Structure 1
Amino acid sequence: MSTASRLRLFYFAYYGAVGANLPYFAPYLRGLGFTGEQIGSVQMIGPLLAAPVALAWGAVADRLGAPGRALALAAGGSLAAAAFLPWARTPLALGAVVLAQALGERAVVPLADAVTLEWVRRGAGAAYTRIRLFGSLGFIALAQGLGLLLALRGDRPGDRLVPVAVALCVAGYALAARRLDVPGSAGPRPRARDALALLGDRRLLALLLACAVHWGACAPFHLLFGVFVRDLRLSASVTGLAMAAGVGAEVLALLAYPRLARRFGARALFAVAFAGTALRWALLARVEGAAALVLLQLLHALTFGLFWGASMQAMAALVPGPLRATGQALYAAVVFGAGNALGYQLAGWGYDRFGGVGPLFGWAAVAELLPLALSAALASPGRPRS
């Protein structure tokens, strides 16, 4: 299998796991009797570990000049823990499994992105977004397919099919990562002070802050969208259809991104992404019917597709090649670690306090105004740094 095919398969399986986890795992835990605070606490474990885990794996990958090898090891560790997911059905047991899985899984995306960005930089003939969109296709396949299966099984509380689907997807991306042997950038291996120097770049810090707040504001959707659908007395098949519609729009945005970036520049695309997301949350806070809920998910093209393309283009331009894995790990630590952990905890607490998910979307719309304001300070990136 070619490197391109392995990368596509990896992203398909990894984001397939996300498609099984994001819309259905919180309702699965609710069906096991978990409270909103317990759901938020369990789901917060991964984001809390994202910073040290991703940075440690990224530093090792850059120091060895072997991000592909590090990715295979991290994915294998994630699989070893994920195999126990279907049998962990108490907060303590599930927390232990999630903790063990996070020690590898939280480094998987930054390492995979480092491998892909380096492969693209070497003239592989494909844009990063054209490879990454296979992750979106995997998300659609699992979110839609699992939703239909859960509905056919009667939308049972605590259906074990959810963790089984997640574990199978983890097995898929672990296998795909086994022979991704793309080497790191040529030249002297970076030292610790070279990595610390990244934090002196104000453009990079502005980018990380804007992205972290944006991702934190997405937490009510990521954590509780499936619960939101059930609270509206709608079927799990509606959750799957809404996710499929959103990620379908995301795929189109990723396909169009190279052309949009050449025409408008990253600063303008960031602003559109943040403004469109604020509108999405404000409208979702008031939605009631299935049709309106599904249509609103088309704005996911901005929330993730446009946002992610601009973020990765900016990271490729701001971080030098020998520090690619460390840079991606730093992004994951700040955005998926700090931003996600705070967002998840506040979302779980807010659900118990307000008695529903709708008010949380209203607060998320307000939070999106900060990255929108910061977008004016985000420089349009140039060519990737080698």
Structure 2
Amino acid sequence: MRGNPDARQGAIALHGFYFLYYGLQGVSIPFLPLWLAGRGLDPAMIGLIVATSFLPKILSTPVVAHVADQTGRAHALMASALAASLLLFISYPFMHAPGWLLGVTLLLNAVFPAVLPLMDRMAIASGRAQGNSYTIMRACGSLGFATVTVAGGYLIKTFDANWVMWLSILLIVACLACVRLLPQAAQPGPDANVATANVGAAPRARLPMLEVVRDRPLLMCIAAASLVQASNGFLYSYSTLYWTASGLSTALISLLWVLGVGSEVLFFFLAPKILARTGAQWLILASAVMSAIRWAGLSITTDPTLIGALQLLQCFTLAGNNAAIMWYITRHVPAARKTSAIALYTLLSGGVFMFASIQLGGALYRGYAPGGFMVMAACAACAIPLVVYAERLRRNVRPGHI
């Protein structure tokens, strides 16, 4: 890559794309409910919109991944999804009725998340040095999320909630400008990174997602990592309300979030060396254990110092877990199925499991507020037996390849 200017340019563009893409989430996830409230929607309707927004990707993400694995046309698919997202964000200010706002949100969450497995596929394809490129790029995403959240909060406080839309539109336009500079993902075919005996002869599957699901060790690892990721559901949706009701100021809560993001960014840089020593499955297992401890701790304390210490474990809940599953996919999935494997992780972690965790956490929160964190602890703990079972299957099928 050092001697190839186009490859360097593509890598730099992909770093920037991660920053912008997650930066857009940094303004839309925390502040879209505030904008919807400004439209006169009541909390129940806003809750319905937020909860159901996780579901459309269940249908769209595997379809886009299938097309990408079959055709290799990742750039065109990303540009189309971003263009559709731009049109939907532009249409938001013209919508007032709750039904129309719900419809636009559902459409937006059908197209925008479909970009994620495509860009992750590009990142792991360009990460030839043991996956280092992916972890650094993903760290850029975390930095983008934190930076735009802070900037968006300032602009909204200084002016009004319409900056949710203006920032989102500007960031999508910037993402679209980056697409043509992004590197080419590896084309479907033999993959030297995959630790299988016959990968060189692996044919292109007609249904890549079906082949991914049939690989039981892979399926168990994806399910385990998805449960760990989905255990963030209560944190994303109700933790601020819980901590505010417990007497913590919004400034202090923001600092607690920054602690978590800071730990995940640092861990993304350390992840390649850790993975080289432990392997992916062991890091997923450690992430599940540490996440269960984190959520259990947060269920029994509202002391800011203890919360801050527990927030540092986000380095496992997000960075360690995410880096590990991408490392695992890089080494155990043929090129013709990689995008579908990433898509399965995306739709489970950010769709099916996330929706279920938010619903369960919210149900307990209404009756017993700390119960939401207890649900998240159970969610993370459920990943532990899956990882153990996946390791046993992998050893039985391919001794020596963990």
- TM-score w.r.t. length of structure 2: 0.83
Q: Is 1:52 paired with 2:65?
A: no
Task: Assess if the C-alpha contact under 8 Å between 1:140 and 1:247 holds in 2.
Answer: yes
Unaligned runs of 5+ in 1: none
**Kept after mapping to 1: 8 A contact 2:139/2:268:** yes
Q: 1: distance between equivalents of 2:375 and 2:188?
A: 46
Report the Cα offset of residue 54 of structure 1.
Answer: 0.8
Structure ranking higher on relative contact order (CA contacts 8 Å, 6+ apart): 1
User: What is the aligned partner in structure 2 of residue 366 from structure 1?
Assistant: 378
Conserved? CA contact 1:23–1:226, under 8 Å = no
Q: Deviations over 1:330-367 (max 9, x none)?
A: 2222222211222233344444x3274x3201221122
Are 2:77 and 1:70 equivalent residues in the alignment? Answer: yes
Shift of the 30–202 alpha-carbon distance from structure 1 to 2, 3 Å rule, reads: same
Higher alpha-carbon deviation: 213-222 or 302-311: 213-222
Show the counterpart of 1:92: 99
Letter in 1 for 2:98: P
What is the deviation of 1:163?
A: 4.1
Percent of residue pairs bearing the same amino acid type: 26
**Amino acid across the alignment from 2:178:** A
- In the alignment, is the contact (CA less than 8 A) between 1:276 and 1:302 conserved in 2? yes
Q: Match for 1:107: what amino acid?
A: A
Q: CA deviation at 1:124?
A: 10
Structure 1 residue 119, shift from structure 2 partner:
2.1
Q: CA deviation at 1:214?
A: 2.3
Cα distance between partner residues in 2 of 1:172 and 1:239: 30
- Give 5+ residue unaligned stretches, structure 2: 1-5, 191-202
Listed one character per residue, the Cα deviations across residues 14-53 of structure 1 (whole Å, up to 9, x for unaligned) are 1112222333444555676655553342123332111221
- Judging changes above 3 Å, is the alpha-carbon distance between structure 1 residues 62 and 33 closer, same or farther for their aligned structure 2 residues? same
Aligned to 1:315: 329
Deviation at 1:223, TM superposition (A): 1.9
Say whether 1:301 aligns with 2:337.
no
The counterpart of 2:152, out of the listed 142, 146, 151, is 146
Which of 176, 179, 188 is residue 177 of structure 1 equivalent to?
179
Q: CA RMSD in A?
A: 3.0
SS in 2 for 1:84: helix
| Partner residue in 1 for 2:193 | none
Q: Deviations over 1:152-207 (max 9, x none)?
A: 66xx8xx3333443343333323322432514325498342444222111111111
1:13·1:138 contact (CA, 8 Å) conserved in 2?
Answer: yes
Q: State the one-letter code of the partner of 2:290.
A: G
Aligned match of 1:114 in 118, 121, 131? 121
| Cα deviation digits, residues 269-311 of structure 1 (max 9, x gap) | 1222111111211222233354544443211111101111101
Q: Tell me if 1:247 matches 2:257.
A: no
CA distance 1:201–1:7, shift in 2 (3 Å): same
Alignment-mate amino acid for residue 179 of structure 1: L
Aligned equivalents of 1:138 and 1:15: distance in 2? 6
**Letter in structure 2 aligned against 1:129:** T
Give the Cα–Cα distance (whole angstroms) in 2 for the partners of residues 62 and 209 of structure 1.
21
Q: How does 1:263-282 map to 2 (within 5 A)?
A: 263-282=277-296
Aligned residues: 376
Q: Say yes or no: does 1:329 pair with 2:343.
A: yes
Structure 1 residues 125 and 44, CA, compared in 2 at 3 Å: closer, same or farther?
A: closer
Which residue identity does 2:383 align to in structure 1? P
| Residues 6-25 of structure 1: pairs in structure 2 closer than 5 A | 6-25=13-32
- Which secondary structure does the structure 1 equivalent of 2:56 belong to? helix
Q: Distance in 1 between matches of 2:257 and 2:377?
A: 19
Structure with greater Cα Rg = 2
